[in-house]
Amino acid sequence: MNETDSRYSGIGLVADMLETPGIVRRLDTARILEFSDRINGERILLSGEGSSRIFPAGKVLADSWRHSYRDRLHTEACTQALEYELGSATVFVASNSGRTKEGVRLIRHLRETGCAGIYGVVATPGSPIALEADAAYLLSCGPEKAIAASKSVVEQALFYDILFRARSGLPLPDLGLLAEEMDRALRLPVPPEITASLAAAGMIYWAGRKDGVAEELALKTNEMTRKKSDFLEGTYAAHGIEEVMAGSDAAVIVEPFPAEEKKFQDVLVGVVGMKAFAISRGPSAFPGLKLGASGDFAPYVQLCAGWNLLVETGTALGVNLDKPLRARKIGNEFLAS
């Protein structure tokens, strides 16, 4: 996708996505690091709903295990978190609008039951979550033009990523380089046969690590292509779900595990007969999009490549990417009584 082709002109979601590398490039790391001194809980809960939690929390949690972070990080959606004992925890509630009902309810519950600190991660100043938290990080991305979240998801993730990497003494991302790689992934030409296969698929499966990328892209598939989708964590695609898959379905595998590529090929392509593609940094048995090497920050680039695939698929299907039939910008909005 690009801003000069008439196929994408006037599409707010495309504009939001293409703005994302610039937001990354200009990010004020010092403003994020100000939150480090506010963390004093034994545990840290990263909460939120939908896109404000899936990738932002998933990415940093995966890294916390890879690098043995000093902080004990957890994630849970806001309503289930109401059932947890969080008295010794620092809680972050991410919400682009700052008006998500579940997030406001969790903050008010924590006010009554107590916790080590409550912090919002929002794009809207003066919103309930921003006002009722102890403090809030205000995203620099500004309001999104489309219903589907995109640039806000990336900035929420970088807020957590930079904050907790710094607290563990790990190198921070080269934001300029990361922005370049993200921009390239957004603009990579998508082979027409991939677009055609995804557009014709009855269902689109996304397989990959539980780091938020494939899971978030499964959600975006619903919003951007109006097709059913499912997230197949790890090697789940080879553990029984083939029983209900169809040859008319398609799968996109994010950074395939080298040791399991043949099994995926045998099951998805050989047994089921579906089309399967990959988003990968290295050689892959599957056709797809090839990306640069981004180390710990590859998930951001993978996410952009997935957006690229979905924009091409949605526009090929004639979908209005900015106006879903049922989905809303704030899924469950808090309304003051």
> 233-292: per-residue pLDDT in tens?
999 999 989 999 999 999 999 999 999 999 999 999 999 999 999 999 988 999 999 998
165/167 Cα distance (integer angstroms): 5
Inter-residue contact 278 to 286 (CB < 8 Å): yes
Torsion-angle region of residue 303: left (phi > 0), alpha (psi -120 to 50) or beta?
alpha
Once rounded to an integer, what is the mean pLDDT over residues 88-117?
96
Once rounded to an integer, what is the mean pLDDT over residues 119-144?
95
In the structure, what pLDDT confidence band is assigned to residue 174 with cuts at 50, 70 and 90? very high
Token pair 């957006």 in the structure block, residue: 307
Once rounded to an integer, what is the mean pLDDT over residues 200-207?
98
Burial class (CB in 10 A: 0-12, 13-18, 19+), 222: middle
Which carries the bigger pLDDT value, residue 125 or residue 325?
A: 125
128/292 Cα distance (integer angstroms): 40
pLDDT at 328: 61
Using alpha carbons only, give the angle 119, 120, 121 rounded to the nearest 5 degrees.
130
pLDDT at 96: 93
Strand partners, 120: 93, 136
**CATH number of the domain at 12-172, out of 3.30.1330.40, 3.40.50.1100, 3.40.50.10490, 3.40.50.720?**
3.40.50.10490
pLDDT at 2: 86
Q: Is the predicted pLDDT of residue 195 greater than 70, yes or no? A: yes
Structure tokens at 104: 């406001």
The lowest-confidence range among 19-33, 86-100, 177-191, 281-295 is: 281-295
**CATH number of the domain at 178-316, out of 3.90.180.10, 3.30.390.50, 3.40.50.300, 3.40.50.10490?**
3.40.50.10490
156/137 Cα distance (integer angstroms): 9
